[in-house]
Structure 1
Amino acid sequence: MRAALAALAVMLATATTGAGAQTATSSPAAGPALSPASVPSSFGHYQPPRTYSEQVTSSFYLPLRDGTKVAVLVARPAQGGKPVDSRFPVIWHHSLSATQQPADGVGSRAAGFVTMPRLTDYGYVVVQVARRGNGQSFGTMRGYHDRNEAHDAYELIEWLARQPWSNGMVGQYGCSNTGDAAAQAMTVNAPHLKAVFAGCFSWNKYDAMRRGGIFAQWGTGPTRTIAQDMAVKPVDTDPDKVLLRQAAEQHQRAVPLFEVWKALPYRDSFSPQLQSPFWAEGSASSYRPQMIQGGVPLYVVGGWRDELRDQGLIAQANIPGARILIGDWLHCENDGFALAEEALRFFDRHLKGIDTGIDRDDPVHYFVVGPNVWRSSAVWPLPEAKPASFALTTKGLVEGAFAGAAVRREFAVDYAVTCEKSGFGPTMQPCHNPGHGWSIAGRPFAAAAEYTGHGVADLWIAADTPDANLFLYVEDVAPDGTVKVITEGRLKASLRKTGTAPWTLPGGYPWHRAFAEDAEALTPGEPARLQFDIMPTSWTFQPGHRLQVTLTGSDWRERARDPQAQPRAITILSDRARPSSVTLPLIRR
């Protein structure tokens, strides 16, 4: 399943000449061919015929309600080098550029998403729009997915529905930052938005970008120089890049997201740069009632090796009728899976009214690592995944309640830790560093045990500072000693107070409101209880392998460390009065 597809590699070509110029491109005779061998049988083997083999494109500036000009690229089905004179459903992408640059979230590594423009072959108009303050568009970005962008989406959706090549049925797609943009479009109830296909986006920005209250996020959004913006291909109506230069200069007025996020340590923090409690403003979760009221069908795509995998499952749990697909993938990747074809099946159902079989599928499809098989479920979490609690004891991780002698284990915190290789791929991944922190393992599994779902950590710690950051890695130890990090969790000790989430959490794991008033400093040397979620995965411990938990006080992805949360050492405690444990959902088949 991890072998990359060679198909679906055609990139959208655009014109650079003349006002209103159009460029015709032809796809290869076989492409983008559907690949049933890469589609699990439960997905229905949807293979409609290709109707067209050419497309024409045109790009231009479109003024929005406040006069801000955004760049638009329209790809239409064509025959004989000319656009087909007919009305089609429209699929659009609220991107960082109108020409799908690698940094837009759908670059070359995002195999399925980058090929969406070739859905013109199946009778769609596909449109790219650079968000205000980005790419070829004018304007200044305000934070990340603010209400300006959401209202832009409303205006653009309704504009797309009125065009002479549109039949009024509009769908949207995106991944990463453009997946967030697609989710934001669902919050404004545009009448003509009929379906959204979104990958690797945040449901709640605080939980995604300040996971556990800790600033250890891999990325902090787009920040480009004028030179980088000028390297973007201009729209057809600006061949000399005169307007592109003006747009690039406007982009520089934006406050870098690193500075914005660094100044927002709590969920209710107010941003002085943006004059907003921005975690709330920029989160789809804040507009859950509007999303439900709109009733737009949502298809979520995620990866077990993506930082936002829990966010996709939370979104699926909160939007009635939503579907989700999770593979053994990194951020916005889909190696070995015909993602564009699955998107076509979804859009054909909701934009063309075709019975593609998708309504008869389970809403949850997930890949199980180990046996390397796809499985589906009508519900999540899986009813057959039973919680197994592993106590931290002097004999290692022992399944069941704590017993035996008390554990008091101190480890030094190494703030110079690096990650030469992060186990499961570059960027975003936790890294096992032998000797860093404290590792505790259980006995070898006698039979295969499938770990599918959300775990929970319940730990007692002490530190010599008013705060501490605790990172937990769940690991698989092979008989030869090889260690693989399979998932993770984290929590800032001062934000340990638990509360009730204002949205559904699949599995009901601990949630932290993390308002400023919830912060409670540690008393140096005094034990404190930390309960937090472990991000979901689907992994199989093979016979002879062992479950291991590694606890650290720092992570190579940390940025702008909090001086109050830098203890010299952290102590883990576990005894009858204060038992520390890790609970994982296991299926013993």
Structure 2
Amino acid sequence: MRRTFCGSMIALAAMASPLSAESYPDVVSTSHYVPVRDGTRLAMSVYRPAVNTKAIEKPLPVIFVFTPYRGRSKDADGKVTETAMSDNLGLRSLLRAGYVVAVADIRGKGASFGHRRGFQDRTEALDGRDLVEWLAKQPYSDGSVGMVGCSYLGGAAFQVATTAPPSLKAAFIGASDLDKYAFVRNGGITAQFNTRPDEKPEVDLATVPMDEDRDGSMLKAAVAEHAENTPMGPLWYGMPYRDSMSAFTGTKFWEEVGPYTYLDTVKRAGIATYFWGNWRDEPTSQVILSAANLGSRFLAGPGSHCVPPEGFDLPGEIVHFFDHYLKHQDPDYGKLPRATYWVEGLNGTGGYVTSSELPGVRSHPLPWFLSQAGFGAQTSGAQGASTFTVDYDLPPAEYFAFWPRPMTEHGLGFAGGALQHDLKLVGYPVAQLKVSSDNPNADVFVYLDRIRADGTSEVISFGRLKLSHHKLSLAPYETLGLPWHSGFEKDVERPAAGEEVSLSIAMTPVSLVVPAGDRLRFVVAGADPRQRNLTDIKLDPAPRITVVWGGQDGSRVDLPLAN
């Protein structure tokens, strides 16, 4: 079945980059099953630029999207949503600019057959490789393929890149991770990302059937196979250490799905990469490290998870990137600033800055000390300690709370006085704590809050670490000097009850100017409402955690002070 879309009916979020000479107002789409190497049939929808409802005949570059969220689906009222017709990832702009867009459901999801062995595993990555090479050979393709995605879709693009498909030339990747263990089980603690309940069959049954599936019987057969999918939450919860063997996959799964394992493969393949995220989104910690390790371009906006950055032409940026690497336009592209990122409060309001370096690289640590007086840049003073009992009676978190709320009522808070001057922070705060607990299995969560002059507050950075994971190790990839905890079982050291240990916790990156008159607050807690399995993992009795402050070696936070 061929479908057409008239350009006048599509509302674009932004116009495409002016570099693209073509401007195709219409789209023609088809859908069908494509078998991969083991014969599993994956659902593929292909969208071709058109004029007057006629598809452009000349071969064009192809942009591929690999998704678990159904490329085409219907809501309860029968309204059809198609990934390719949205501009959140610049796809509609890419079509208008003369690119074919292809969207496929991963195996075990949507209309695709098969079942998921594991979240972004090598089976899925190799499926993507097969589809990239299949697309490159189609008559509408000029042989060059790019990938784009954010969140799971961004991770899928990264994973496919690690298989080095010969036809994959460039990938624009948002809100994904470099190190799955250090992200999903950061500090040895599994929190909300990737652990939400698996979707019911009815969700996949709302997928629009492929053109060849006229009666929907193939869709029903495909969804029936999804019953064999590996459950995602139990997959992650069942692997406490980086080198844990998964009972579901029979592999050391954290390493299998950690893109850092395959960085040399991506580099040798010469695949161009661009990483982006937003400051109020936990994956941005990993996005910066991905860009650092691959020498990539970088973008960060002011918003939340995968929200197109306000005040920035994301579709135009995506088109420009692919115009250079797939259409070989703008030879001076490489001379443009490497990084573009939002600085909240810049010049009193906020704005984007460009730089040849990633954010925070030139910042230097400004130690702020915890003390009896609170939190500030003052000398550490006399040594003391404060103790609290972990509070598990926490308010329920949103189903997917991308950012925490202030935890001062559920932990130990150290508040500073009003700032006398603006404080520009760009980069990763690092908490350097001296703590002890009556339970060696205790967890430590830390939060850096901004308290405005009007008394309202918000979390601007946070982190977490198990006491037993306090040992520092040398990372197998560039960490920009941040502390790294291996998570290997051999490196886990449970302290004795009451034994003081040092914790170095890299917190989520910040990019803001805290104005004079505002205050900073540091909070330590032992649980976070965003832990989906909090009921199952809470300790009884609740641990008591002591934080040591003052003296020559008391607790502090190294703030990333920018020029």
TM over 0.5: yes
* Residue 380 (structure 1) shift: 2.7
TM-fit CA distance, 1:553: 0.7
- 1:392 matched to 2:370: yes
CA distance in 1 between counterparts of 2:392 and 2:159 reads: 37
Matched-pair contact (CA < 8 Å) for 2:87–2:93: no
The residue type equivalent to 1:70 in the other structure is L
Task: Determine whether 1:312 maps to 2:287.
Answer: yes
Aligned to 1:480: 454
Report 1:160-309 matches (<5 A). Answer: 160-220=135-195, 223-309=198-284
Separation in 1 of the partners of 2:259 and 2:373? Answer: 45
**1:66-215 correspondence to structure 2 within 5 Å:** 66-97=38-69, 99-100=71-72, 112-215=87-190
Any unmatched runs of 5+ in structure 1?
Answer: 1-20, 37-44
Selected match of 2:337 from 362, 367, 391: 362
Q: Does 1:555 align with 2:534?
A: no
Matched, 1:328 2:273: no
8 Å CA contact 1:172, 1:195 repeated in 2: yes
Aligned CA distance change for structure 1 residues 512 and 474 (closer, same or farther; 3 Å): same
Q: Is the 8 A contact 2:29 2:46 kept in 1?
A: yes
Q: CA deviation at 1:221?
A: 6.2
Shift of 1:47: 5.8
Aligned equivalents of 2:69 and 2:462: distance in 1? 33
Q: 1:475 to 1:211 in 2, by over 3 A?
A: same
Number of the residue aligned with 1:8: none
Alignment of 1:372-411 (within 5 A): 372-382=350-360, 384-399=362-377, 401-403=379-381, 405-411=382-388
Quick one: distance in 1 between partners of 2:440 and 2:361? Answer: 40
Structure 2 residue aligned with 1:53: 25
Moved over 6 A (4+): none
* CA distance in structure 2 between the aligned counterparts of 1:545 and 1:217, rounded to whole angstroms: 30
Q: Supply the distance in 1 between the matched residues of 2:10 and 2:248 (Cα, whole angstroms).
A: 51
1:28 partner amino acid: S
Q: State which of 32, 37, 43 in structure 2 corresponds to 1:65.
A: 37
Equivalent runs, 1:409-420 vs 2, <5 Å: 409-418=386-395
State the match for 2:78 in structure 1. Answer: none
Q: How many residues align?
A: 551
Cα shift at 1:384: 4.5
Q: 1:293 to 1:480 in 2, by over 3 A?
A: same
CA–CA separation in structure 1 for the residues paired with 2:439 and 2:272: 48
Contact 1:362-1:376 at 8 Å conserved across structures? yes
Structure 1 residue matching 2:444: 3-state secondary structure: strand
Q: CA deviation at 1:90?
A: 0.5
Q: 1:222 to 1:301 in 2, by over 3 A?
A: farther
272-281 or 233-242, which deviates more: 233-242
How far apart are 1:154 and its partner, in Å?
1.6
| Conserved? CA contact 1:462–1:528, under 8 Å | yes
CA distance in 2, matches of 1:319, 1:401: 40
The 10-residue stretch of structure 1 (540-549 or 358-367) with the greater mean CA deviation from structure 2: 358-367
Classify 1:566/1:162 alpha carbon distance in 2 versus 1 (closer, same or farther; 3 Å): farther
What amino acid is aligned across from residue 283 of structure 1 in structure 2? Answer: G
Deviation by residue 1:152-193 (Cα, 9 ceiling, x = unmatched):
122111111111000011100111111111001111111111
Give the Cα separation in 1 of the matches to 2:186 and 2:105.
Answer: 28
**Residue 156 of structure 1: SS of its match in structure 2?**
helix
SS in 1 for 2:101: strand
**Structure 2 residue identity aligned to 1:317:** A
Shift of the 446–565 alpha-carbon distance from structure 1 to 2, 3 Å rule, reads farther
Q: Check conservation: 1:75, 1:117, Cα contact below 8 A.
A: no
Is the CA contact (8 Å cut-off) linking 1:391 and 1:581 kept in structure 2?
yes
Amino acid corresponding to residue 211 of structure 2 in structure 1: D
Partner Cα distance (2:269, 2:540) in 1? 43
Q: Distance in 1 between matches of 2:497 and 2:133?
A: 58
> 1:33: Cα distance to partner?
7.1
Query: Aligned AA for 1:476?
Result: R
User: Aligned match of 2:12 in 7, 32, 36?
Assistant: 32
Partner of 1:453: 427
Partner of 2:438: 464
> Residue 250 of structure 1: SS of its match in structure 2?
helix
Q: Output one character per residue of 1:248-276: Cα deviation in whole Å (capped at 9) or x when no partner.
A: 11111112110111111111111011111
Cα RMSD for the two superposed structures: 2.4
Change (3 A) 1:314 1:482: same
CA distance, structure 2, for counterparts of residue 566 and residue 96 of structure 1 = 41
Question: Contact conserved, 2:90 with 2:319, CA < 8 A, in 1?
Answer: no
Structure 2 residues without counterparts, runs of 5 or longer: 76-80
Q: Is the 8 A contact 2:436 2:546 kept in 1?
A: yes
List per-residue Cα deviations over 1:548-587 (Å, max 9, x = no partner): 1111111001133445697432111123254111001113
Q: Contact 1:328/1:367 (CA < 8 Å) preserved in 2?
A: yes
Match of 1:505 among 459, 466, 479: 479
User: 1:386 offset after TM fit, Å?
Assistant: 2.2
CA deviations on 1:67-102 (whole Å, 9 max, x unpaired) are 100001000111222212111010010112552559
Matched to 2:528, the amino acid is D
Return the letter of the residue paired with 1:24.
T
Question: Cα distance, 1:114 vs. partner?
Answer: 4.8
Partner Cα separation in structure 1 for residue 73 and residue 483 of structure 2: 39
Q: Indicate how the Cα distance of structure 1 residues 566 and 560 shifts in structure 2: closer, same or farther if over 3 A, else same.
A: farther
What SS does the aligned partner of 1:312 have? helix
My pick for the range that moved more, 521-530 or 445-454, is 521-530
CA contact (8 A) 1:112 1:340 kept: yes
Distance in structure 2 (CA, Å) of the matches to 1:485 and 1:383: 23
Query: Which AA in structure 1 matches 2:65?
Result: H
> 1:537 offset after TM fit, Å?
1.4
1:476, distance to aligned residue in structure 2 (A): 0.6
3-state SS, counterpart of residue 140 of structure 1: coil
Measure, in 2, the Cα distance between the counterparts of 1:270 and 1:560: 21
Q: Deviations over 1:105-127 (max 9, x none)?
A: x999x974355145221111100
> How many Å apart are 1:398 and its aligned residue?
2.9
Q: Letter of the aligned partner of 1:201 in structure 2?
A: S
- TM-score by length of structure 1 reads 0.89
Measured at CA, do residues 566 and 157 of structure 1 come closer, stay the same or move farther in structure 2, by a change above 3 Å? farther
Question: TM-score, normalized by length of structure 2?
Answer: 0.93
Quote how far apart the aligned CAs of 1:31 are: 5.3
Counterpart-to-counterpart distance in 1, 2:141 and 2:303:
34
Q: Secondary structure at the match of 2:509?
A: strand
